[in-house]
């Protein structure tokens, strides 16, 4: 089963993707994570992407598509893929279709997590993450057991440089412009399911599961 997860920063995509990955034994591919790895490793791509990411702007389509093609070519995917944070533009959606077709695969469902913007601001500005294992916390709604430290490995938690109110506004602006086109593309193909992303993570997961299985 191959799925796409659409949703703005703070919509809960990352958290919900991890659950789906475990329950359906599919592989999560997050372009945000792949790009952050490239930045950390100091690759050529990472150097090009870093200033754009810091500003909440999109990394150019050809770079992101190249990254996805490279990831798919690794050939380690068995049951299916969950694309998280990709596609974010119409050309990316078209390129993804082409890449899947080349591999003899198809998209099964596109889940769009719908969350009002005022909730996104609270979720994103309170978000703290572990730079080592990627665990995500929230200062108020999901605090770590020891303040500022990851529950799993004790690493000092960080606030992502793009998780400030100002950067979030830029990211939302980009999202508002590009994502309606991506949604329309998948709606026309009969693949789009819009899911209410408000409420606690368990409720949201249940709605997602129903949408995936319908």
Positions marked active-site: 13, 88, 127, 160, 171
Q: Which is nearer to ligand AMP, 62 or 206 (CB)?
A: 62
Q: Which is nearer to ligand AMP, 166 or 206 (CB)?
A: 166
CB of 181 to ligand AMP, least distance (A): 13
CB of 194 to ligand AMP, least distance (A): 19
Q: Which is nearer to ligand AMP, 12 or 85 (CB)?
A: 85
| Residue closest to ligand AMP, measured at CB | 32
Q: Which is nearer to ligand AMP, 133 or 146 (CB)?
A: 133
CB of 205 to ligand AMP, least distance (A): 19
Number of continuous H segments (helices) and E segments (strands) in the chain: 8, 7
Q: What tokens appear for 9 in the block?
A: 């920063």
- Specify burial of residue 20 (Cβ count, 10 A radius: 0-12, 13-18, 19+): buried
Tokens 């665990």 identify what position? 135
DSSP string, 13-47: HHHHHHHHHHHHT-EEEEHHHHHHHHHHHT-HHHH
Residue of 50, 83, 197, 200 lying closest to 138 (CA atoms): 200
Contact yes or no for 84/13 (Cβ under 8 A): yes
CB of 61 to ligand AMP, least distance (A): 7
Report the interface residues with ligand AMP, using CB under 6 A: 9, 31-32, 35, 52-53, 56-59, 64, 85-86, 88, 92, 162, 171
């Amino acid at each position: 089963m191959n799925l796409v997860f659409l949703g703005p920063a703070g919509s809960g995509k990352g958290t919900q993707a991890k659950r789906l990955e475990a329950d359906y034994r599919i592989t999560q591919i997050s372009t945000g994570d792949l790009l952050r790895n490239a930045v950390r490793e100091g690759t050529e791509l990472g150097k090009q992407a870093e200033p754009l990411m810091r500003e909440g702007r999109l990394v150019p389509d050809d770079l992101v598509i190249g990254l996805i093609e490279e990831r798919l070519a690794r050939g380690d995917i068995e049951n299916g893929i969950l694309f998280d944070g990709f596609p974010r533009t119409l050309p990316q959606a078209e390129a993804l279709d082409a890449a899947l077709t080349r591999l003899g695969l198809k998209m099964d469902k596109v889940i769009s997590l719908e969350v009002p913007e005022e909730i996104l601001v609270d979720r994103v500005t309170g978000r703290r993450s572990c730079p080592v294992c990627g665990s995500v916390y929230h200062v108020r709604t999901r605090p770590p057991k020891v303040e500022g430290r990851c529950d799993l490995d004790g690493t000092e938690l960080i606030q992502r440089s793009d998780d400030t109110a100002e950067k979030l506004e830029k990211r939302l602006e980009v999202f508002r412009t590009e994502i309606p086109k991506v949604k329309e593309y998948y709606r026309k193909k009969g693949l789009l399911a819009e899911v209410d992303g408000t409420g606690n993570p368990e409720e949201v997961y249940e709605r997602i599961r129903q949408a995936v299985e319908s």
